[in-house]
Structure 1
Amino acid sequence: MIKSVISSKKFKAIILVFSCLLSLSFVSVLHAEEVKAEDQKVETPTWKSNVELGYVSSSGNSETTSINGAFGATYEVDVWKHAISLKSLFSAATDADTNEDKTSAERYTFQAKTDYKFSADGYAFAVVDYDDDRFSDNDYQTSLALGRGFKFALSETSNLDLEIGLGYRQTKKKAFVIETELSPGVPVFTIFPEEKINETIVRLAANYTADITEHSKFEQKFSVESGEENTVSKSYSGLSVNIAENLALKVSLTATHQSDVREGTEALDTITAVTVVFNF
Structure 2
Amino acid sequence: MKKMLLASAIAMTMPFTANAAANFVEGDATWAGEAELGATLTTGNTDTSSVKARLNINHELGDWENQYLFEGLYKEDQEEVTAKRYFAGFQGDYKLNESSYIFAGASYEVDPFTGYDYKLAAAAGYGHKFVLSEKSTLKAEIGPGYLYQRLDDEQQAELGYKTEDSMVVHGVLNYEAAIGESAKFKQEFIADYGDNLIARSETSLTANIVGALAMKFAVVVRYNDEPLDNKESTDTETNMTLLYSF
TM over 0.5: yes
1:55 to 39, 64, 70: 39
Structure with bigger RCO (C-alpha 8 Å, 6+ apart): 2
Aligned counterpart, 2:207: 241
Shift of residue 45, structure 1, vs aligned partner: 2.5
TM-score (norm. length: structure 1): 0.75
Give yes or no for the alignment of 1:82 onto 2:66: yes
Give yes or no for the alignment of 1:168 onto 2:134: no
Give the number of aligned pairs: 219
CA, structure 1 residues 194+93, in 2 after alignment: closer, same or farther (shift >3 Å)? farther
Shift of residue 268, structure 1, vs aligned partner: 1.1
Give yes or no for the alignment of 1:206 onto 2:140: no
Shift of residue 130, structure 1, vs aligned partner: 1.8
Moved over 4 A (4+): none
Aligned counterpart, 1:181: none
In 1, distance between residues paired with 2:80 and 2:164?
30
In 2, distance between residues paired with 1:219 and 1:127?
21
Matched letter for residue 120 of structure 1: E
Q: Which has the larger radius of gyration?
A: 1
In 2, distance between residues paired with 1:47 and 1:251?
25
- Larger mean Cα displacement after TM superposition, 192-201 or 80-89: 192-201
8 A contact 1:145–1:203 mirrored in 2: yes
Aligned counterpart, 2:84: 106
8 A contact 2:226–2:233 mirrored in 1: yes
8 A contact 1:167–1:201 mirrored in 2: yes
- Larger mean Cα displacement after TM superposition, 69-78 or 167-176: 167-176
Q: Secondary structure at 1:125's aligned position in 2?
A: strand
Residues 202-224 of structure 1: per-residue CA shift (max 9 Å, x gap): 01110111111111111111011
Q: Secondary structure at 1:90's aligned position in 2?
A: strand
In 1, distance between residues paired with 2:226 and 2:108?
18
Q: Secondary structure at 1:135's aligned position in 2?
A: helix
Q: Which runs of 5+ in 2 are unaligned?
A: 1-26
In 1, distance between residues paired with 2:112 and 2:146?
22
Q: How does 1:1-280 map to 2 (within 5 A)?
A: 44-94=28-78, 101-176=79-154, 191-228=158-195, 230-280=196-246
Matched letter for residue 73 of structure 1: I
Q: CA RMSD in A?
A: 1.5
In 1, distance between residues paired with 2:44 and 2:171?
46
Percentage identity across aligned positions?
30
Aligned counterpart, 1:18: none
Matched letter for residue 249 of structure 1: M
In 1, distance between residues paired with 2:48 and 2:134?
44
TM-score (norm. length: structure 2): 0.85
Q: Which runs of 5+ in 1 are unaligned?
A: 1-42, 95-100, 178-189
